[in-house]
A and B are shown apart, each in its own frame.
Chain A
Amino acid sequence: MRHLVFLLPALLLLLALPDTRGRYNDDFDDGEDIAEFDDNDFAEFEDVGEDPAVDVEKEPPPRAAPSSTPIEDDEDEATVENEDGQDEFEDGDAQEQDMYSKYDNEEFEGYEKSNPSFKDTLIYREVPAHLQNSWESYYMEILMVTGLLAYIMNYIIGKNKNSRLAQAWFNSHRELLESNFALVGDDGTSKEATSTGKLNQENEHIYNLWCSGRVCCEGMLIQLKFLKRQDLLNVLARMMRPVCDQVQVKVTLNDDDMDTFVFAVGSRKAMARLQKEMQDLSEFCGDKPKSGAKYGLPESLSILSEMGEVTDGVMDSKMVHYLTGHADKIESIHFSDQFSGPKVMQEEGQPLKLPETKKTLLFTFNVPGMGNTSPKDMDSLLPLMNLVIYSIDKVKKLRLNREGKQKADRNRARVEENFLKQTHNQRQEAAQTRREEKKRAEKERIMNEEDPERQRRLEEAAQRRDQKKLEKKQMKMKQIKVKAM
């Protein structure tokens, strides 16, 4: 009897197993034939009891789990460990996925739909650039650093070039300067006036040289105004608009070294510009720049002069020879006894004073080469320095005749009068305010006095002063009336 009891479950099991295996076999055999299941989804389950339903319920989850792993494998480099037991299901699972997804969702209530990603489009997330191990993503930074390095390179090259040009200029001019001036090179800081014998570097592109100790002049300041070769922005700007290096010479004279006149000669553009900019040229040389052809100069040069006599006096044969020979290098030559620099924009309400003037000769020369200068070009400027020295001596000798002198004096008086007229109102206002200030101060003093006696006395004194002033004014008015009559 007991044997029978054991045998029964075994028999039952034996009966059930072939069915399950058979089902699997059915699935494997009919896996390709999905159409069969479309028509009658539950065909296979019709004759089977609840057990297959339970089994079916149990199957999707384990089959869903392995189905998701192959997808994960495809997605990332990250490896996903598969459970050993599920490997055998992989081949069949892919085929069975479609079958199960078409089944009623209600069957799988309570289970998470773990295979929807297979249906949705794959979204590839980008790895943030700074986590990638490549320098390529930093190309903007590399560009910036390259730009900076280029700027530094240009700075060094430009600085050296300017320095070489300055030194070349000084070497070619040193002899001439040392034979003409007792002091060549001074920066103003040393206690004793000894020649430093070298240029002052103000900037990477401006060099100064001060020479002094000569007849006919106080001193001479030479400024080598080179292009800003050390600044890359400037270099690029110059590619659009070429500019020259310039040498500017400013000779300051003593009062007896020069007669009273204002004169300028130079390129037409420069003359037009200077006439507008310079205080003395705009006041004394009112006429438009005249062509230099009358005096034998090339057409490119024009003249601004206070009077014809001055031009005749300055333009002697040697000067004409110099100017004609080096017309391309001459930007402007300006002789003036009323030199005060460019026009200064005056602020409103400021009491104006006549600007201080100094007898000056101002020379501006262009270095040949239009920016592409080499140290050798500096030698070609030597004749121009000779011109400067010649001019200094000439100006000392140049004297106007009586007529010229009178004309010049009249001109200067006229300019001063105009100036005073313009500023008359302003000066009056200034005087008025000053008077009011004084009165106010006095009144305050009287008020602040504690002693009443003193107060009374001060008040009386102020009253007496005011009365006197009134009387004086009345007298003046009477006098004017009498004179008018």
Chain B
Amino acid sequence: MTLNNMADPRRPNKIFRYKPPNTETNPTLEDPTPDYMNLLGMIFSMCGLMLKLKWCAWIAVYCSFISFANSRSSEDTKQMMSSFMLSISAVVMSYLQNPQPMSPPW
């Protein structure tokens, strides 16, 4: 019996459940990229809408894509979708107001 126990290290009576690590106490563990990108995306899309700058709107689209790629699975999809929609609406509005193509900065 003891040999059996020695051979098999498993102990079903000693099971502990998984507890996700508390990220509030240790903020260094979290990756801040998706949050920053989300914020940047919103700022750029507001700039693009208010100041009618096409390149701002395009950068906002890129920011929201990057934020989506880096997001955690626990994050709200509503937040992602809202930032997407905002940036796409910024692009569309810029082109409706001024259908001229973007001119490169050089």
Contacts and interface: CB of A to CB of B under 8 A. Distances in A.
Contact of B69 (A141, A183, A201, A204): A204
Given A138-B101, A341-B26, A151 B14 contact: no
A342 interface: yes
Contact of A128 (B13, B16, B70, B100): B100
A230 B61 CA distance: 17
Contact of B66 (A130, A138, A233): A233
A188 B18 contact: yes
Contacts of A152: 65
Interface residues of A, number: 45
Nearest to B103: A140
Interface in B32-85: 58, 61-62, 65-66, 69-74
A139 B102 CA distance: 8
Contacts of A183: 12, 15
B18 A214 contact: no
A147 B63 CA distance: 13
B62 A147 contact: yes
Contacts of A141: 101-102
Interface in A203-261: 203-204, 210, 212-216, 218-219, 221, 228, 230-233
Nearest to A221: B18
A148 B62 contact: yes
B28 interface: yes
Contact of B14 (A129, A212, A221, A233): A212
A34 interface: no
Contacts of A16: none
Contact of B58 (A128, A144, A186, A228): A144
A201 B26 contact: no
A140 B10 contact: no
Contacts of B103: 140
Contacts of B58: 144
A188 B19 CA distance: 6
B61 A148 contact: yes
Interface string B74-106: 100000000000000000000000011111100
Given A129-B100, A140-B101, A148-B62, A213 B15 contact: yes
Contacts of B19: 188
A215 B65 contact: no
Interface string A363-398: 000000000000000000000000000000100000
Nearest to B67: A231
A170 interface: no
Interface string A149-191: 0011001000000000000000000000001111100111000
A182 B11 contact: yes
A221 B29 CA distance: 15
B14 A230 contact: no
Contacts of A138: 101
Contacts of A128: 100
Contacts of B70: 203-204, 228, 231
A137 interface: yes
A344 interface: yes
Interface string A52-64: 0000000000000
A215 B13 CA distance: 10
Interface of B: 8-20, 25-26, 28, 58, 61-62, 65-66, 69-74, 99-104
Interface of A: 128-130, 137-141, 144, 147-148, 151-152, 155, 179-183, 186-188, 193, 201-204, 210, 212-216, 218-219, 221, 228, 230-233, 341-342, 344, 393
List the 10 closest pairs (A to B, CB-CB), nearest first. A210-B18, A188-B18, A140-B102, A213-B15, A182-B12, A130-B99, A186-B18, A138-B101, A182-B10, A231-B69
